[in-house]
Amino acid sequence: MTHQQNSAPSSSRPPRPKSPHFPPHNAPRVWFITTGTSPISIALARQVLGHGDYIVAGVLPIPFEKREGQSEDFRAFLEDVKRTERWRERLRVVGLDGRIVGQCQAAIAEAVEAFGRIDVLLGSTSEAIIGTVEELAQTSRTRSLVNETFETNFFANVNIIKAVLPTMRRRKNGHVIMLTGITGHLGTPGLGMYCSSQWAIEGYCDSLAYEIAPFNVKMSIVQANMEVNVLTNRMTSVPPLPEYSQAENPAPLAREIFSGLLDKLDQVNNPNAFLEGKSPTSESTTTSPDGFMHEPSVGDLLSSDTVTSLYPPLPSVVKASLIAETVHALTAIGGHDNPPARHIVGFEGVAAVKEKLKTTSEELEDFIEVSNAVDIARDDGQTPMMLDQSGS
């Protein structure tokens, strides 16, 4: 993926995505996808259904007319399934709010009832909250968003994993994939709570991997670029504090990064929306640097004085290019006999993580004497001595 945080999405034809690469297997696999309505999940479902696998797609149990953002894409996918005979019997849609333990257990039971087993669980439940640590502490509402972030990004994924493990353990076979981002490696200013939830679920999965390995259940963490997960799921922004404006704070905050991206995406969707020379007609009209009056942009919503949630308006061509590498990675890893414990998607993500690890290694060497100085040496001064259980 070549989509940069500070570059405009191109409306030209994207490079041809790589053909899906599936690991060898003796029978069709059964996938359970926790958030079936996301662009990544829909694209993945099309690929694996075309390959002959089965899909169980979790969706929030609310009517279509009350859904936000992604309902049209999912509705179009379901229409395609109806028109494709070999897909119809291979897809099951189940109601699932991962924050509710009982719904997780019921959804897994329904999947096993329908297809006999679950081979691959893809945990893809994620929402981004944009705001500095101080901004998230302003009101009871913003503070509650912190709990909601962990309920969605951490506990919802934990609940579905706990629900599926007994059936995988009994069969002594299964593969759990957790879709996160390089935000699980890298702190990002303005995304502190989102990054925290990513680090939390990765720590959980890293530990769980050792516990389930004796049952031949594999665990993989797939880290996409930051903008992949943020731009393909709901994002919520809290009111900004003036102390963290660009004029006062030079840190490259996520609010400014994604405001710029949203405006560029909106220009691709609505190239005539930028009206020059418009007279101000309401308080919502703003003045741009060119001196003309404009209606507030989509990016301006992230700087609203109220808590604001939205689904980024991704043009189809941008969406396909944005998620292509992640979908390719998931098809290549899912159900593999020897999958990677951690997979970073794309050149940019690999480069960013390598740079972080390099910095960590350099800091470790800079303070290695301080680290070694706290060791408790034996009388001979050679081998560190461990305290016994009594603490003596």
pLDDT digits (tens, 9 = 90+) for 199-250: 999 999 999 999 999 999 999 999 998 889 899 999 999 999 999 888 888 8
Number of domains in the chain: 1
What pLDDT score does 377 carry? 64
Residues 6+ apart with CB under 8 A from 342: 220, 221, 223
Is residue 376 domain-resident?
no
What pLDDT score does 386 carry? 54
Is residue 36 domain-resident?
yes
What pLDDT digit, counting tens, does each position of 98-148 carry?
999 999 999 999 999 999 999 999 999 999 999 999 999 999 999 999 999
Q: Is 244 helix (H, G, I), strand (E, B) or coil?
A: helix
Q: How confident is the model at residue 87 (pLDDT cuts 50, 70, 90)?
A: very high
CATH number at residue 64: 3.40.50.720
What pLDDT score does 250 carry? 81
Per-residue pLDDT for 11 more than 60?
A: no
Closest CA to 119 of 199, 40, 206, 22: 22
What pLDDT score does 1 carry? 40
Least confident of 59-73, 177-191, 282-296: 282-296
Q: What's the mean per-residue pLDDT of the chain?
A: 84
Per-residue pLDDT for 44 more than 90?
A: yes
Whole-angstrom distance, CA of residue 64 vs CA of residue 11: 30
Q: Which of the two residues, 388 and 116, has the higher pLDDT score?
A: 116
Least confident of 1-10, 92-101, 147-156, 261-270: 1-10
Q: Is 227 helix (H, G, I), strand (E, B) or coil?
A: helix
Per-residue pLDDT for 64 more than 70?
A: no
Q: At 128, phi and psi to the nearest 5?
A: -105, 140
Is residue 100 domain-resident?
yes
State whether the Cα torsion 198-200-201-204 is positive or negative: positive
Is residue 366 domain-resident?
no
Domain residues for the domain of 39 are 30-239+313-346
What is the average pLDDT across 380-390? 56
Is residue 220 domain-resident?
yes
Whole-angstrom distance, CA of residue 346 vs CA of residue 325: 7
Is residue 80 domain-resident?
yes
Residues 6+ apart with CB under 8 A from 93: 36, 56, 57, 59, 78
Q: How confident is the model at residue 19 (pLDDT cuts 50, 70, 90)?
A: low
Is residue 203 domain-resident?
yes
What pLDDT score does 14 carry? 45
Closest CA to 144 of 58, 72, 238: 238
Is residue 19 domain-resident?
no
What pLDDT digit, counting tens, does each position of 341-376 carry?
999 998 888 898 899 889 999 999 999 888 888 777
